[in-house]
Chains A and B, each alone.
Chain A
Amino acid sequence: MGGMETDIKFIDENGLRIDGRKPDQLRPIKIEAGVLNNADGSAYVEMGKNKVLAAVYGPRECHPRHLQNPAKAIIQCKYNMMSFSVGDRKRPGPDRRSVEISKIIAEALDNVVFTENFPRASIDVYIEILQANAGTRCAGLTAAAVALADAGIPMKDLVPAIAVGKVADTVVLDLDKEEDNFGQADVPMAIVPRTGEIVLLQMDGHLTTEEFDQAMEIGMKACMEVYEIQKDALKRRYAVDAAIEEE
């Protein structure tokens, strides 16, 4: 957590945040499915000022081969921030943060993909952060789930993700960069909407147990909102295909 000292007033007298949002309000989200040609499935997500591309290749032969599982496919994820996506240029290539995020995103997706249908195969998920403004792992996972569905990979559900945090002693949804810099806590989470399972959960900062309960509650609700936007993106993608077929 940033946790820096500041004079910025994060919640005004009307209970609104710097960008005018209510504490439990999402930033505007835009999702498009099928945005790349070569990838088997792809998605683009804009969440506030975040811009994220996700691409899926597979199921395909697993490299490196020693990772093959004779019982099911493995999901390999690479989350990467483009060098110009942040304030100071980030050196290209993986760092400890991106390796960890890649790991937990792959593990979250493993819950919904019918990996047992594709023994020994690999399903490769690539997430690129084009422009970052806090909450990129959630935007990345949200995009990756849509890209998997776009690739036609059998799944029991999509996976929407969102972060809840705390600023100015208030639990708020979907922190932006400014709030994140001075935030007191950050709780990224992802769920399987049909079952209510939680498949990604992290927390750092400082929360009372009551605040955590509140965070979970508004986070779950927000995930359902993201879920609707994910489904809508896939429906629009198929609607276009149907229109072409009719011609």
Chain B
Amino acid sequence: MGREVMAEIKKNHINKMLAQGKRMDGRGLEEFRPLSIEINYIGTAEGSARVKLGKTDIIVGIKMSVGTPFADTPDKGVLTTNVELIPMAAHFFESGPPGADAIEIARVVDHGIRESQMVDLKALCISPGEAVWINFMDIYVVDFDGNLFDACNIGVNAALRSTIVPAAKHGKGEDFPMPVTCSPVSCTAVLIDGNIAFDPTLEEEMVANARLTVTTDESGDIRAMQKGLHGSFSSEQIKYIIDTSLALSKDVRDIIG
């Protein structure tokens, strides 16, 4: 998402500071920005959250309906994750259907949720092969300052936990809370001129050579990963990012609650 140009002098300054273990906003290299989560933000959604990670600001809403399951998973509910990078959020976002950047974020968030079996999809089956709960998780970015991977992951974690399945409205018995089994939390780091920084800002993402997102669960296992951007990591760097992500994800999980 770096369709912006940055002055060479600023880029050098960021590099120089990182080499000394410092960042433009005063954080340490392994430090997240302030995180705030407001659940049940949208009254018309079954579950929702507004998440602010530094100056990145997103709104997640979950809508549920009854539909038919996929043929190969007749006894499982359906999950769909969608990210909208709307032009409100940054001057270089354009309106239109989700592009490659938005789709990548949505898929990485989706993998974390799906592979950890965070949502018990079997509990979202109403009648095998016929009727299951269809779960649309839509994420709108309203202000963009980097690290959408983690902001969106946190938003979906919080929104799912606040979701009430609207069974009564659809004549399918009593409402019940979303069957949530664990919390897969992602932590993203970028490699900038040989230094690794977590929870990158937009400026840091613009000068980054490579990016790695690691989604881990509370038992310390890895549930999803995604390497991005044109550069590369050494295997030592990847191990360091995984270990640090595991430690950082605990703090994030505490805030999600």
- Report yes or no: A85 in contact with B145, Cβ–Cβ below 8 A: no
B6 to A: closest C-beta gap in Å: 16
- Report yes or no: A128 in contact with B140, Cβ–Cβ below 8 A: yes
SS class of chain B's interface: helix, strand, loop or mixed?
A: loop
A84 interface residue, CB < 8 Å from B?
yes
B57 interface residue, CB < 8 Å from A?
yes
- Report yes or no: B88 in contact with A132, Cβ–Cβ below 8 A: no
Chain A neighbourhood of B155, CB < 8 A = none
B32 interface residue, CB < 8 Å from A?
no
A37, A42, A86, A94: the one within 8 Å of B44 (CB):
A86
- Report yes or no: B43 in contact with A92, Cβ–Cβ below 8 A: no
B41, B62, B142: the one within 8 Å of A53 (CB):
B142
* Binding stretch for chain A, among B79-87, B185-193, B226-234: B79-87
| Complex interface residues of chain B between 58 and 86 (CB less than 8 A to chain A) | 59, 61-63, 65, 82, 84, 86
A42, A57, A83: the one within 8 Å of B138 (CB):
A83
B153 interface residue, CB < 8 Å from A?
no
A42, A80, A89: the one within 8 Å of B63 (CB):
A89
Cα–Cα distance between A131 and B96 once the two chains are bound (Å): 21
Cα–Cα distance between A51 and B48 once the two chains are bound (Å): 14
B191 to A: closest C-beta gap in Å: 25
Contact with B along A58-95 (1 / 0, CB 8 A): 00100000000000000000101011111111001110
Closest to B59 in A: A130
Given the interface pairs A78-B87, A131-B42, A131-B44, the reply to whether A83 lies near B144 with Cβ below 8 Å is: no
Interface size class of A (residues with CB under 8 A): 20 to 34
- Report yes or no: B43 in contact with A82, Cβ–Cβ below 8 A: no
| Interface pairs (30), CB distance under 8 Å | A36-B57, A36-B88, A36-B142, A36-B143, A37-B55, A37-B57, A37-B143, A37-B145, A39-B88, A53-B142, A55-B142, A57-B87, A78-B95, A82-B42, A82-B138, A83-B82, A84-B62, A84-B136, A85-B42, A87-B44, A88-B63, A89-B63, A89-B136, A89-B138, A93-B96, A94-B95, A124-B87, A128-B86, A128-B88, A131-B42
B interface residues, Cβ below 8 angstroms from A = 41-45, 48, 55, 57, 59, 61-63, 65, 82, 84, 86-91, 95-97, 136, 138, 140, 142-145
Closest 10 CB pairs of A and B: A84-B61, A89-B63, A84-B45, A55-B88, A126-B88, A83-B138, A37-B55, A36-B143, A84-B63, A131-B44
| 6 further contact pairs, Cβ within 8 A, besides A82-B42, A83-B61, A88-B63 | A38-B90, A84-B42, A89-B63, A89-B138, A93-B96, A128-B140
